[in-house]
Amino acid sequence: MSDVALESFRAELERLRAEAAAALAAARDAAAVEAARVEFAGARSGRLKALQKSLGGLAAADKPAGGRLFNEAKAAVGDLLVAAQARLGAAAEVGPPPVDVTLPGAPVALGHLHPITQTIRRVQEIMGRLGFESVDGPEVEDQWHNFEALAIPAEHPARDPLDNFYLAVARGADPLLLRSQTSTVQIRVMEARKPPLRIVSLGRVYRPDTADATHYPMFHQVEGLLVEPGTTMAHLKSVLRLFASSFLGGDVHVRFRPSFFPFTEPSVEVDMEWGGRWVEMGGAGMVDPAVLEAVGYDPREVSGFAFGLGVERIAARRYGVADIRDFYRNDVRFLRQF
């Protein structure tokens, strides 16, 4: 009689183990594991607890064996619970994030070059097609390259301390300054090379002007220089006209007005007509023999022309910008238009 009771107790424990294993294998989340834990191993009304109570009904001789069977089953259910928790925890940690690879990607925000930089590149490209190599020069200059070699003598008003950014570096009578014009690069290139020469140089120049719609203490110039035997004003005008037509598009007219620059003789102001309006773009002329001599060229053997135009001016003309300060406000709503 007692044997039968022990056997049915063993069978109950087996069934409980099998059902716990099935329930935990089917558990897909922590809530399902917890529900199984309460059902099988719950401290108050779990099925293990109920079987433990029925241990008391076994014959005295069967109680040790029954207790051993119960402890085995309890440990087995405990192992199943730990394994199920570990399985779900690991899946949560290493499982792939829910990504829908068929959705369109987030667009990458691409910027673009500043309109002044775009203008500089375009001028370089057009002048390059006309055979002009693009060269650079320093923005901190000495008196020789910014003035002397360009035939601008010490007493010339262009050298006034109020019209230039001289640097507070002790160099006696030869202070350095932020260059006030790109004509400096003419001198540097001619000193370093022999003719024939065709160069353009585009870059920043500095003058202590009060900022307004057409002035800024920093702006950009394009300097052009051609030195070849037999150069004339006609070549100068042709190059400027070809440049202006390519840059602005359509038939652009170029007008020369007599003027004066220390480093050109004769000198002219350059106006361009586009869309029915004449706009002054800069200065030009034939390189003064004194400048050729200053760099060691023989003015009886070579002649040349030079020109200097304002980059902001030609950019403003092309894009219809009324106030050059807009180029430097860094307002993306303005910059995005170019």
Binding site for ligand DAH (CB under 6 A): 181, 183, 223, 261, 264, 282-285, 306-308
Question: Smaller CB distance to ligand DAH: residue 84 or 309?
Answer: 309
Question: Smaller CB distance to ligand DAH: residue 20 or 324?
Answer: 324
What's the Cα-to-Cα distance from 108 to each of 104, 138, 250, rounded to whole Å? 12, 37, 36
> Tokens 């050729």 correspond to what residue?
292
Least separation in angstroms between CB 245 and ligand DAH: 20
Q: Which helix (H) or strand (E) holds 197?
A: strand 197-206
Question: Smaller CB distance to ligand DAH: residue 27 or 199?
Answer: 199
Least separation in angstroms between CB 240 and ligand DAH: 11
The two structure tokens encoding residue 231? 């150069």
DSSP three-state, residue 273: strand
Least separation in angstroms between CB 193 and ligand DAH: 17
Contact by Cβ (8 Å): 158, 283: no
- Hey, which bits of 242-301 come out as E strands? 253-261, 264-274, 277-287
Question: Smaller CB distance to ligand DAH: residue 143 or 264?
Answer: 264
Q: Is 250 left (phi over 0), alpha (psi -120 to 50) or beta?
A: left
Tell me how far apart the alpha carbons of residues 278 and 295 are, in angstroms, rounded to a whole number: 36
Handedness of CA 328, 333, 337, 338 (dihedral sign): positive
The CB-side HSE value for 99 (13 A sphere, CA atoms) comes to 6
Least separation in angstroms between CB 308 and ligand DAH: 2
Question: Smaller CB distance to ligand DAH: residue 273 or 280?
Answer: 280
Least separation in angstroms between CB 268 and ligand DAH: 8
Question: Smaller CB distance to ligand DAH: residue 119 or 221?
Answer: 221
Tell me how far apart the alpha carbons of residues 261 and 288 are, in angstroms, rounded to a whole number: 9
What's the Cα-to-Cα distance from 12 to each of 20, 38, 53, rounded to whole Å? 12, 18, 13
Question: Smaller CB distance to ligand DAH: residue 256 or 338?
Answer: 256
Contact by Cβ (8 Å): 177, 160: no
CA neighbor of 65 nearest in space, from 10, 16, 17, 8: 10
Please identify the residue of the shown chain whose CB is closest to the bound ligand DAH: 308
Least separation in angstroms between CB 105 and ligand DAH: 50
Question: Smaller CB distance to ligand DAH: residue 74 or 220?
Answer: 220
Question: Smaller CB distance to ligand DAH: residue 151 or 306?
Answer: 306
DSSP three-state, residue 121: helix
